[in-house]
Structure 1
Amino acid sequence: MINRLHLSFPLILLIIIVLLTFWLDQAVQPAAITQDNEAYRHPDYIVENLSGIRMDHEKVVSRTYFAEKMFHYLNEDITHLEKIHFMSTQPGKPLMRMVADRAELLGNGEDIYLTGHVTILRGSDDEKDKITMVTSFLHLIPDENIAKTGESVTISRSNTTIDAIGFELDNRTGMVQLLSRVRAVDK
């Protein structure tokens, strides 16, 4: 029996060392990075009361924005903004302002999705032809100067109110295309 114990002791010691090595390897490995990881559910940074501008080569301000809060998420290239105000001031074009409860910017802002109570004002406050548009969702494509939605929209200008489902606004040409169920009321 002592002879058997003498032969099996190195085998038992080898098994213990292998198990201990496996356990130590698992203990020192970093946590696997997954979408469900707790670190990815929280923003990697938060900014409050921020503003920014975009200028062209002639140092003319073309766009400005203000937001109460900004949240950026590490696992996606998405930025969330709360209480957002956009303003587009391009030479020769009417002033365009957009206000929304929330915004989601994808990538470097090539696509911006406004949600909540979204209001678009085209033209200055003192212009008689100022246009006001109200919807619950708006997709902005800033580089193309396009704003569009498939949701219901109410458009007001002077004494006229128009209700429709879906629209596309091209700010370069000033054209508004209403997509369906258009109903106009003249006051």
Structure 2
Amino acid sequence: MKNIWVGKLFPLGLVLLLFGTSFWLDQVSTLDHSNSSLNPNKPEYIVDGVHAKRFDEQGLLKEDFIASRTWQFPKSDDMFAKNPKVDIFENGIKKYHLVGEVSKYNTQTKVIYFDRQVTMEKMADAEHPEAKIITSALTADTEAQTVQSKNKVDFSYGTSTGSAVGFDYNHKTGLLNLNSRVSAIYEIPPNK
């Protein structure tokens, strides 16, 4: 007799448990967080171990982003990253590599600020040798495809090396402008 009641009550108990769980999940997922006051000086989100990839219309890799940590403050368009590494591709071929200790990316302006021990490399191709810029900070406008810094930079282009204070680089034109105090050792590349 006892087993009959257990057999009849179990499905009813299971239905009530599922109903309660569904009700609770619905309440949690529809909470209005707009009235909650978050501390604007503490991150709203922190993510450890980030690896994000973006692909172009043909499905080829366009951007590869890795960071040990990212975070964002409440009501802010800026996302911060620790130890960011960004690889930029064209037609699936790696063109640029950027590394810094920290970065700040504005989701509205699409501008990324790299800070502390920043290295930007342009990969060698059939027509050009590898180029590298090392500086303490730089700004990259992902929409305009420009990079700039007002700080001291050390650079290399193939076997040529030098330094300057400040630079501007436009990817569309391929033009690098060294702003001031330029010192360079230019080595003529061998004939191919």
TM-score category (smaller protein)? 0.7 to 0.9
Q: Deviations over 1:152-179 (max 9, x none)?
A: 1111123221111111112233221111
Deviates more, 1:87-96 or 1:131-140: 87-96
Instruction: Say which one has the larger Rg.
Output: 1
- Equivalent residue number for residue 65 of structure 2: 65
Distance 1:66 1:181 in 2: 34
1:15 alignment counterpart: none
Number of paired residues? 153
8 Å CA contact retained: 1:50, 1:68: yes
Q: Counterpart in 2 of 1:174?
A: 174
Q: Which runs of 5+ in 2 are unaligned?
A: 1-34, 188-192
Q: Distance in 2 between matches of 1:109 and 1:83?
A: 22
Cα drift, residue 75 of structure 1: 3.4
CA deviations 1:79-132 (Å, max 9, x no partner) are 11000001111139761100000000112461110000000111159x981111
Moved more, 91-100 or 149-158: 91-100
- 1:138-177 superposed matches below 5 A: 138-177=138-177
Residue type at the aligned position of 1:180: S
Q: Secondary structure at the match of 2:63?
A: strand
1:136 aligned partner: 136
Contact 1:94 1:124 in 2 (8 A): no
Compute the RMSD of aligned alpha carbons: 2.7
CA distance in 1, matches of 2:169, 2:91: 18
For 2:156 and 2:51, the matched residues in 1 are separated by 29
Give how far 1:142 is off. Answer: 0.9
Structure 1 outlier segments of 4+, above 6 Å: none
TM-score by length of 1: 0.73
- The TM-score with structure 2 as length reference comes to 0.71
Give, in whole Å, the separation in 1 of the partners of 2:36 and 2:89: 47
Query: What CA distance in whole angstroms lies between the structure 2 residues aligned with 1:93 and 1:32?
Result: 45
Write the letter of the residue equivalent to 1:166: G
CA distance in 1, matches of 2:167, 2:146: 11
Aligned-pair CA distance for 1:59: 1.5
Q: Matched residues, percent identical?
A: 21
Partners of 1:70 and 1:186 in 2: CA distance: 40
Matched, 1:41 2:41: yes
Partner of 1:80: 80
Distance 1:142 1:52, change over 3 A: same
The answer (yes or no) to whether the contact 2:72–2:80 under 8 Å persists in 1 is yes
| Structure 1 residue 144, shift from structure 2 partner | 1.9
Q: Give the whole-Å Cα distance in 2 for the aligned partners of 1:54 and 1:151.
A: 30
**Do the aligned residues in 2 keep the contact of 1:114 with 1:139 (CA within 8 Å)?**
yes
What is the CA distance between 1:185 and its match in structure 2? 2.5
Question: 1: distance between equivalents of 2:56 and 2:149?
Answer: 28
| Partner secondary structure for residue 100 of structure 2 | strand
User: In 1, distance between residues paired with 2:89 and 2:77?
Assistant: 27
